Structures are given as C-alpha cells and as structure tokens.
Chain A
Amino acid sequence: MSGAAQTFDEMYDADGAVRPAYADYAAWFEAQEPGWLRRKNQETEGVFRRTGITFNVYGEDAAEERLIPFDMIPRIVSAAEWRRLSRGIEQRVRALNAFIHDLYHRQEIIRAGRVPERLFRDNAAWLPNMVGFTPPGGVYTHVVGIDLVRTGPNDFFVLEDNARTPSGVSYMLENRETMMGMFPELFTRSQVETVSDYPMRLARSLAACAPPGTMGKPVVAVLTPGIYNSAYYEHAFLADQMGAELVEGSDLRVVDGRVAMRTTCGYEPIDVLYRRVDDEYLDALTFNPESVLGVPGLMDVYRAGRITIANAPGTGVADDKAVYSFMPDIVEFYTGEKPLLPNVETFRCADPDSLRYVLDNLAELVVKEVHGSGGYGMLVGPAASKREIAEFRRKLVARPENYIAQPTLALSTCPVFTRRGLAPRHVDLRPYVLVSPNGIEITPGGLTRVALKKGSLVVNSSQGGGTKDTWVLKD
C-alpha cells in the first residue's frame, strides 16, 4: 500500500471533518453511550448465528458453517453519487449483454479488430452449444454483480464484473434487516433507500424472461447444489423470499420435452430456472458426465426454447479477467459512448511488454489468475514476502497468459467498530443488477465488503473479510 496518507476515508475528510452524507449518522453515533454500542455490537453475532445466516467452508468438516463477520457502522452513499454510479453500471451491463450476444452470433467486435479472437477461443467459459442460439428475451446475464472500488471523491473504478452467478445478495438484505432491528431510530432520522424489495424484483424480472410458450404465471425455481454448498443459505433465502421452489438436480428431469420437478403430485414443468450451479455441472449429457447437480437433457430443452436459464449458460465468457481488460473498448463498441465507470489499469501478462513491466514491478502490483475467483491464486505484491514474490515470478514466466496485473489502488476506507472505537478499514462495493426485456434495475445499495484486518486489501469472505450495511440516501 503506497502512501497511506492519500487513502480516501468515506466518513471523514482529510481535516477530520464528517462528510455530508455521514452528518446525521455521525451526530447520532457521537450521542450514544460507548458501553451500549459495545453491547449492541456483541449482540449481532448472536442474531446472525440464531438466524442461521452462514456460509459453508470448503475443505473443512462438511457440517462446518461460518458466519461472515458483520460490522455495524453503515457505509453511506449520497443520492448524487448513486445516480452517477447507476448510470455507469447500467451502461456497463447493457454492453455486457450485447457483447455476449455478439460473441455467440456475428462476432462483429472481433471482425472490427477491437478485441482479439483468443478472448473467446482460449476462454474456459466459452460454450460452443450457445453459438447461434438466442436465449428467451435476448437476455444473457439476468443477475449481475459489479464490484466497485473507490480511491477519491469522484473516483470509482470497476474491479470486476460478475456476470455468471454473483452471490452475496442475501447478506445485503440481512444486513439491512439486522440494522433495522438493532437501531430502528436510525432509519427515522435518515431517509435510506429500501433494498428489501429485491427478491420481489428478482421474481418479477425472472418471470419477465420466461420462454415465449409460457402459459399463465411462469413457474420459477432456484437450482441449488444442496445444503453443503457454500452459498446454500442464500439459495434457500432467495427461493423463500420469492415464493419459488428450491430444487436440486435430483428433483428434476426432462418430461415431455420440458424440464419438470418431482412434486408430491407428479412432475410439474418449470419455466424459469434461476440456477446457482456452474455451467459445467448443468447437464451431464452435454457437459460433465459425472455431474449429479444438474439435469440430463437440460440443454436440449433450453435450445428448443422451452425453459429460461438464468444466468444463461456461457455467460461466464464475459467476466473473465482477460475480458475485463478490454471492457472500456467493449462498452464503447456497443453503446457508442465513453465508459462512465473506468476500469482499474490492467496489464495483460500475455503481452510481452506488459509482462516485462509486471515482472519488474511485482512488489507494487496485484497479480490475479485470469480464471481465478474468491481471492485465491492471487499475489498482493506490497503484502507479500520475498519468497512468495519469487514463487509467483516463476508461475508468471511459465504461463504468462494465465495472469493479469493491476496497481495496488489506494482503496477507500470506511470506519469499523472496534473495541477501541472507530478504525478505518478498506472496503469495496458490489451493487446488484437485474436485467429483463423490460429493462435494467439496480437495487440502491449493494454489498459492502470490508477487510477486517488493519491495512489488508483483501475483502473476500473466504479470506476473512466482513460486510456492512450499505445506505443510499434519498435526496
């Protein structure tokens, strides 16, 4: 982390004065008795534990469920900031969908020479089965999570586009529930945009993507790998809140050309499948033959236009980290506009000049695996030991095309509650976006992830990060 002095603090300006968006909250906070705040803070873990808001940790005892630490100081975004962010997000999401459609059809962006062919050819998420096929409603990525970081008052960057199965939305909702339960008076003082209608919007958005032949109210189901999946809590939560069935592969089969679920009264067809299972496990007949998580024959039904899969198979082709580096070009190509939200500067190690630069500056850079996720397989240069850097150098030289590198940004901080009072910790933000033929909806707020270790830049829950409630203020 270079130059801690430059770090943008979301709550306080350089002189220690409270920023306008936090004014109401800070006044309230100051007026509270410290002992009472500490007790409230201790209560939160119990609340989450009792409610069972957990995630499972792979590689540990199968029954092991962990809590994601929750910090009770909200992250607050002003109405004006949010308007600007939403415009940028909407532009980006529109471009993402257009890009995926183009890749699986005419590939005009490649013919125009704006992105190289290897971008899809070498891409593990590329699905030849999707070539020439258009999903119902023309939507590829129905639920998108755009990861944003901030470095200054007006400097937001997109860190990552999560176009396949972004998770964490249940934490956004439960964090708000918890805050409203613990500090009801805060919500009468500050006018905070609501997030709780997300499941209803999701249900409506998914239903609007039902295949053309759907009769009556579309039947929506959430497909989960089961109770041992790390995000099972979220799958059950969303199904519950949407009033949809929560299905597993073993509940489904193809009956009379439709995907149907085994109910107590026989097989009932499904119109929209919100799947939280990765592409390769979706259909043992088409993809991984070993998989029992999906439905044999699903892809045939899909290609016959008799079910909607959200997000569409093959969507992952757009959220590869190699694709990320081309996003500014992609946005411009499909929208005809300059991107409203910039990328973080990214070096593609496949490019020899970039590789040389990256190798010379490893100690300053964050290096990520192109296909990696969840904070695994990455190097945070400034925090790494000499040995780790040397090890990564070998990996880079061996397979440069497998990596990208980015400068370590001075990620903004937001105060967290500690035993000794407030302390700044780095944060990012993942807003959730819904796409249907009726338009793009962005829930005001999102999931703020916070690195709980002092100075740490890694906010992933799998790496010990926590979350906060995110407020978007009304005007």
Chain B
Amino acid sequence: MKHLLSTQDLSLDEAILVLDTAAQMAATQSREIKKLPTLRGRTVVNLFFEDSTRTRISFETAAKRLSADVINFSAKGSSVSKGESLKDTALTLHAMGADAVVVRHWASGAPHQLAHSGWLGSGDSPVAVLNAGDGTHQHPTQALLDAFTIRRHLVGRAGGATGDGVGRDLKGLRVAIVGDVLHSRVARSNVQLLRTLGADVTLVAPPTLLPVGVETWPCATSYDLDETLAHWAPDAVMMLRVQRERMSGGAGAFFPSPLEYSRRYGLDHRRLAMLPGHTVVMHPGPMNRGLEISAEAADSTRSVIVEQVANGVAVRMAALYLLLAGGSPAEGSAI
C-alpha cells in the first residue's frame, strides 16, 4: 500500500502493524530527546482545504519528530482561494519535491483523486497521500488512534498480557459510537477499522442522524442510549461532536433542540454511573461540553480524551514511517 486513504483498505495484519509501530513510536515520545532521524531529508506537505488546527498540528508534530521537513499549505489566503484547481495545486507540490501529502478536504474522495490521478507523479517517484479527513467519508488516522487508545487501555489489561496489547487485535471488545453518525467521517472510519480488528460496534443516534444504508454497515444500530449502556455494557463509549449551528432550529434541523439532544444522547453524570467499571470514555474533539458530553464525563478518570491527542502523534508517526521510510513502497509488503 502506497497511501493511507481509508480504513477499509487496511487488512488485519496491516492495521496491527500500524498499531504496533505506533506503540514503538509512543515509547520514543517519553524520552528526553523525542526526535528521531528517520525521515531526514524527506518533505511532508500538509495540504489543508478545511480548517483543522489540531489535526494539522498533530501531523506536523509527527513529521517533525521524525526529522522530516514540513510545509503547511492552507487553502485560505492561498492561490486556491483565487480559483486554482486541486490538480494545479498538486502539480505545484510535485514540482517542489514533496514526498508525502497530508490532505484535508471538504469533498469526500479528494484524497483518492490526488492519489490516483497521477498529478503527484507515479512510477519512480510516487508521492504518498495521507487522508486527514475528507468530507463525510474517512478520517483513517483518527480511527487508528482510537483503536490504539482502546487497545492500550482494554486489551493489555483484560487479557492479563503486558506491553500495551502489542501484537493483539480487539476481538470481543464492545464499542458504542454515539451521536452525529450522518456527518461523521470518524464514525465511518471507526466502524470499518474496529470491525477489521474484531471488535463489535453499535452506533447510537437519533434516526435523523443515521445515514441511509447504515443497515449494510458491519455494525448494530440503536436509537436508545440508555438501553445500549444498560444492557450491552460497552467497553468503550465514543461520543461524536455535534455541530451545534447546523443541528437545530429552522429548516433542515436534525433534532428539535440542543437540550432535548443532550437529554437523550448526551453522556452525563447518570449515564456515566451506568457504565461498567473498566469502560473508557472517548471523544475525537473538539468537545461541546454540556451538549454531547458533560464536563463531569469529560474530566472523569474514565476519560481518555487527552490521551487520544498524544496517541494521535504516535499513530501519525507510524503512518508516515510506514509510508515513507521504505525505499520502494511499490514492492514493500507493508502498508
């Protein structure tokens, strides 16, 4: 595999290789000197058509910790806002000698287009494309860091094994993903990856926020959060961000009011108490405290939300390493 575009492309072995590599990368991040010389002389371009400070900083940190040169390219205030096409932007980046392009785009499929169009070169000088979120489609590194966090907390502990669950999949673990599944690339990426890793997933959302065709996804669905928490006893609860402004009131609203959403689908004090003792609370951030998650849940000892951010750097280091370090990615067996 030359690119990281979707969690659907990852086989079980590839997914575990990424997670294991991330575990080694994470180990280097507790050292005094965090920087490794691994990608010295390589250039990584962060191509962001959509604002996302935390994802960009995470990728930038990961690339810099591996000694790659980083160029940040934001569409705002660049020639893209003057009407330049994705193709011309790509040709420019290729001419400048980029080795990898991390792309965030509002259009689903834009990273795929970049990777397979030939605009970024092909054959002898392939440029790796990493999807950092495209439309409502995929956000593979987010799903990988979620899986990594779940494995660290739940696999090593439950099995009595040591080493943060290195080498293990997530077989038998139950994950509830709660909230705006309809617009969520995080949910899509997670369902596929968690399924590949052997976990069971239940999506919990109001009917209006479940996409058409969700019944074909490899997961269960529910409209009732209390029922899911009480009877299914998930090992991890992943809350999704609700975009307040487009969710309620006026035409095109998905639920009557934020208060009603919060009552039925928010993770609050009462629901927190319903969870089994080992269950972890996750959120991809940024959070709407008081809407999908209460401050108490966000700050509780079960919350691994801040750790997810740290793990994001390790997972992105692993992805960059696996895509860029090998000399001939076309022949390499790994990712």
**Same complex origin of A and B:** no
